[in-house]
Chain A
Amino acid sequence: MVDLATEAAASAAGLVKRFGERRVVDGVDLVVPKGMIYGVLGPNGAGKTTTLRMLLGIIEPDAGERMLLGYDHPRDASDQVGYLPEERGLYPAMKAKEAIAFMGALRGLDWKTGRERAAAMLDDAGLGHAADEKIRKLSKGMAQLVQLLGSIVHRPDLLVLDEPFSGLDPVNQEKLEKLIRAERDRGATVIFSTHVMAHAERLCDRLAIIAGGKRRFEGTVADARGTLPFKAHYVPHHDDGGIRALLPADAEQDGDGWRFTLPEEGIEALLVRLIDAGYGIAGLSIERPSLHEAFVRIVGPEALAEEPA
């Protein structure tokens, strides 16, 4: 269990939540430094949403403590927090501009300023024409963008996005990535949950991996990748079957070549042996493990198997 960090944007120590007999979150510790983009990764059913909800004070933990923007009780920080829940929801009869101003008003922004900012933000997002359209007339992607704008209209110090990329087309995913970076550059801390590694790999300054209700990893993307050794992909000039004996034990045939873990002493000695044996080098690449591979290794097959269909 970590000590709650008062200088962190958000921190949690030993968070536990049970639903019935099931421990959905089981002693999760988190420390989210200020001014960073922080990813909460995990398979479906890992406990990400419940962890974020407890962090924000939407539901109370059965055990553990949390601190948000220096407040012991997350509710006290609510005006400085923006939140996009996994299940998107807006009042269908509200106009886009009003919906954004309303979400700002909930967080302490006056209506007039909220409307002005909403109009400007919608213009910036290319949705100026929809400012006075009712939500029910907008496409799903546009409504999702409106809700996202509503979560940042009051310029929060902490932005929490639960699976923000789900349901967005590639163009809007790109827009959202830019927006997240812009929020970080403005000085805000961004926490987002996802089970899509590509977004986390591109965006996260730090990340936590949760599976089975437990935190399995915490660190940078590089740290996560560092949990796996580099891989080499070697293609000989010819392959007569004898080459197998020269390669590391975990080598696997991959097309015309072989893929294996980079030896701890380096690849030079191995290459010398292969050249001396007459196999030569038709191709060679050293591959850094991806976050996806690191995630699969960290989460483990058992946790992935827990993922509901």
Chain B
Amino acid sequence: MIPSRKAIRQALTIARRDFIATVFTPMFLFFLLAPLIMVSFSLIGGLGASSVAEGAADRERLVVVADAADAALVEHADARLRTLFSKDAMPPELVIAAPAADPVAQARAALDARDHDVDAAIVGPFGLPHIFYRAGSARDADYLAALAEDVVLGQAGKGRPLSAPIEVEVTHHGATVGGRHAAGLMAVFGIFFLTLLLAGQAVGTMAEERSNKVIEVLAAAVPLESVFFGKLIGMFGSAVLFILFWGTIAAQVGHVLPPEAAQTMRELQPAVGWPTLIVLFCCYFTMAYLLLGAVFLAIGAQATTIREIQMLSLPITFTQIGMFALASAGAARPEGWVAVVAEVFPLSSPYAMAARAANTAGLWPHLAALLWQALWVAVVISLGARWFRRGVLKSGAPRRKKAAATANG
């Protein structure tokens, strides 16, 4: 199973040709910049969604029916309570309405206002208030209830604060369980995202050799295993170039992260530490790429037309999503049996082991896993090459007896 120097040299020759043929083309520039299209559309979509959300929020109101005597207390309580909310979770703007003849009916009718969307309305007395709210606005009703509580305290002359807390910020230096899980999920998603983008391309790489009949020249000079491995390495090279390009950009983006995001990042503490996780991430991405790429290459090598290759894309994507789901489930419960299955099953193993690195300290399982995955890469390449040789490299056509001898010289 250990390849000879000659086989490695031959594989690298194939890889070199494929790498150059892939990278030194205008299409590669398009491929390299493809994420820009995704980011652009995401930004446009995000801006649109944000604009719609902000527009809707601008139209939302909470109504408090209160006389002038209570209005100041309501405003004071509202101002104090809003300090507890982040910008995204802030309750709608509060409007104070003077009581009419029937304040309860007035509050209820406020929900039918045409100039604004009133999510909830409250009417006193604040010791026994009536709160009306739209379906889905129970949180706003709760806010108004808290507001009433504050107003009652104010009416009783017991304005806040009633206590004098001493707040001490403590920075957590160790890895938290949540931080480890989050780092694990991030590692799984990172590998999944990259392999989803890049490994699927392997499915069509043998099509070129089949269509221009180079395959027999290659097969005569080089074992098919080396052809397969060389093509994988070539594709992997272009994938690494892609990752280096975007990784460099992403690293610069990291410097301009807002403080909240930077804090969130600090809380992600993998069990093996960041430097080790980064090394393991690279190893597992390599294995995931080679393993899935080898499977896709072997399957794609059987395809004879572009249409067949396109047809294969969907099951391939679903396979990747399935492996991602399995590994994610394992990452969420690192001690469960799902995690063990995901770590052992070859196609999900790289994802699941990356999650394990984030969740559990200890390096020897990773060494074992990398060997296990490398073994499967070799097995898949070997089987794929045999399958290809049996299905493609023959001069007769046994499936159609009539044409059995046409290609035999």
B17:A91 contact, CB within 8 angstroms: yes
A56:B220 contact, CB within 8 angstroms: yes
Q: Which residues of A contact B218 (CB under 8 A)?
A: 106
Q: Which residues of B contact A47 (CB under 8 A)?
A: 408-409
Number of interface residues of B (CB under 8 A): 38
Complex formed: what's the CA distance from A290 to B398 in Å?
A: 36
Would you give 20 A-B contacts (Cβ < 8 Å), ordered by A?
A19-B395, A22-B405, A44-B409, A48-B408, A49-B407, A50-B409, A59-B389, A81-B220, A83-B220, A85-B220, A86-B409, A89-B209, A89-B212, A89-B213, A89-B214, A92-B212, A106-B14, A106-B222, A195-B409, A308-B403
Q: Which residues of B contact A50 (CB under 8 A)?
A: 394-396, 408-409
B223:A75 contact, CB within 8 angstroms: yes
A24:B395 contact, CB within 8 angstroms: yes
Q: Given that A19-B404, A22-B404, A85-B217 are contacting pairs, would A102 and B13 also be in contact in the complex, using a CB cutoff of 8 Å?
A: yes
B393:A59 contact, CB within 8 angstroms: yes
Q: Given that A106-B218, A308-B405 are contacting pairs, would A91 and B398 also be in contact in the complex, using a CB cutoff of 8 Å?
A: no
- The answer to whether the Cβ of A16 comes within 8 Å of any Cβ in the partner chain is no
Query: What is the CB-to-nearest-CB distance from B205 to chain A, in angstroms, rounded to a whole number?
Result: 13
- The answer to whether the Cβ of A11 comes within 8 Å of any Cβ in the partner chain is no
Complex formed: what's the CA distance from A190 to B315 in Å?
A: 48
- The answer to whether the Cβ of A53 comes within 8 Å of any Cβ in the partner chain is yes
Complex formed: what's the CA distance from A182 to B123 in Å?
A: 108
Q: Given that A105-B13, A107-B221, A308-B405 are contacting pairs, would A85 and B216 also be in contact in the complex, using a CB cutoff of 8 Å?
A: yes
Complex formed: what's the CA distance from A83 to B399 in Å?
A: 28
Contact with A along B196-216 (1 / 0, CB 8 A): 000000000000110011111
Q: Which of A58, A94, A102, A108 has the most CB of B within 10 A?
A: A58
- The answer to whether the Cβ of B219 comes within 8 Å of any Cβ in the partner chain is yes
Query: What is the CB-to-nearest-CB distance from A21 to chain B, in angstroms, rounded to a whole number?
Result: 8
Contact with B along A52-83 (1 / 0, CB 8 A): 11001011000000000000000100110101
Q: Given that A59-B393, A59-B394, A106-B13 are contacting pairs, would A87 and B405 also be in contact in the complex, using a CB cutoff of 8 Å?
A: no
Partner of B396, one of A24, A81, A102: A24
Q: Which of B13, B396, B397, B409 has the most CB of A within 10 A?
A: B409
- The answer to whether the Cβ of B406 comes within 8 Å of any Cβ in the partner chain is yes
Complex formed: what's the CA distance from A255 to B394 in Å?
A: 48
- The answer to whether the Cβ of A88 comes within 8 Å of any Cβ in the partner chain is yes
Q: Which of B9, B13, B212, B214 has the most CB of A within 10 A?
A: B214
- The answer to whether the Cβ of B173 comes within 8 Å of any Cβ in the partner chain is no
Complex formed: what's the CA distance from A161 to B395 in Å?
A: 16
B408:A87 contact, CB within 8 angstroms: no
A78:B221 contact, CB within 8 angstroms: yes
- Lowest 10 CB-CB distances: which A-B pairs, in order? A20-B398, A89-B213, A49-B409, A45-B405, A19-B396, A48-B409, A106-B221, A89-B214, A85-B216, A83-B220
- The answer to whether the Cβ of B282 comes within 8 Å of any Cβ in the partner chain is no
Q: Which residues of A contact B212 (CB under 8 A)?
A: 89-92
Query: What is the CB-to-nearest-CB distance from B301 to chain A, in angstroms, rounded to a whole number?
Result: 16
Number of interface residues of A (CB under 8 A): 47
How many contacts between A and B, using CB within 8 angstroms?
119
Known: A19-B397, A75-B223, A78-B222. 10 other contacts (CB 8 A): A20-B396, A22-B401, A50-B395, A78-B221, A81-B220, A83-B217, A86-B409, A91-B21, A91-B214, A108-B9
- The answer to whether the Cβ of A183 comes within 8 Å of any Cβ in the partner chain is no
A58:B405 contact, CB within 8 angstroms: no
Closest partner residue, chain A, to B218 (CB atom):
A106
Query: What is the CB-to-nearest-CB distance from B22 to chain A, in angstroms, rounded to a whole number?
Result: 11
Q: Which residues of A contact B255 (CB under 8 A)?
A: none
Complex formed: what's the CA distance from A79 to B5 in Å?
A: 13
Q: Which residues of B contact A59 (CB under 8 A)?
A: 389, 393-394
Query: What is the CB-to-nearest-CB distance from B389 to chain A, in angstroms, rounded to a whole number?
Result: 7
Closest partner residue, chain A, to B210 (CB atom):
A89
Contact with B along A5-44 (1 / 0, CB 8 A): 0000000000000011110100000000000000000101
Query: What is the CB-to-nearest-CB distance from B393 to chain A, in angstroms, rounded to a whole number?
Result: 6
A24:B405 contact, CB within 8 angstroms: yes
Q: Which residues of B contact A58 (CB under 8 A)?
A: 216, 219-220, 393
- The answer to whether the Cβ of B6 comes within 8 Å of any Cβ in the partner chain is yes
- The answer to whether the Cβ of A306 comes within 8 Å of any Cβ in the partner chain is yes
A306:B220 contact, CB within 8 angstroms: no
Q: Which residues of B contact A103 (CB under 8 A)?
A: 217, 221
